[in-house]
Amino acid sequence: MKPIAIKKGITIEELPGEIIAYDLGSHRAHCLNRSAVEIWRCCDGTMTVEEIASRLHQQIGLPKDPELVRLGLEQLKAARLLEVESVEPAADPPPSRRAMSRRHSLAAMAIPVVTSIAVPTAAMAQSRRGGTHPPQPPHPPNPPRPPRPHH
């Protein structure tokens, strides 16, 4: 199967080596590290998992391992950044990031990672007052001090 990325309704903010993909429909935001970004970019419906693995090997020097790609695809699928039908259901769950890191002696940063959050509504983000005890009641104010020199 040839995975297809979902790009409609997704707004992208590019950072050095990462991107933030914001799903305007579900209001979920995802941070893709470099490997995950490269996999996602390859998902144009023309490449198989093996071909994507070769492309990643050429472009960013990742080991030519389809399992590494599947690990990224699983995360992208969970983040709803891939057309579900375009991804072959895995017979076995892909190896963990740690296992993959050990297998190829890769730095953790080289393993594809997609981190997701549900973007809060304004009310959810709003601070409340009172209610429960504070995490740590501070001491009462000190007497006023002479002003510090301005820096």
Task: Report the interface residues with another protein, using CB under 8 A.
Answer: 11, 13, 15-20, 22, 24, 27, 29-33, 115, 117, 119-123, 125-130, 132-138, 141-145, 147-148, 151
Closest distance to another protein from the beta carbon of 28 (Å): 11
Closest distance to another protein from the beta carbon of 46 (Å): 27
Q: Which is nearer to another protein, 89 or 138 (CB)?
A: 138
* 8-state DSSP, 5: B
Q: Which is nearer to another protein, 84 or 117 (CB)?
A: 117
Residue-wise over 136-149: b if at least 16 C-beta within 10 A, else e?
A: eeeeeeeeeeeeee
User: 78: left (phi > 0), else alpha (psi -120 to 50), else beta?
Assistant: alpha
Closest distance to another protein from the beta carbon of 134 (Å): 3
Report the run of H or E that residue 72 belongs to, with start and end. Answer: helix 66-78
Task: Determine the residue type at 97.
Answer: R
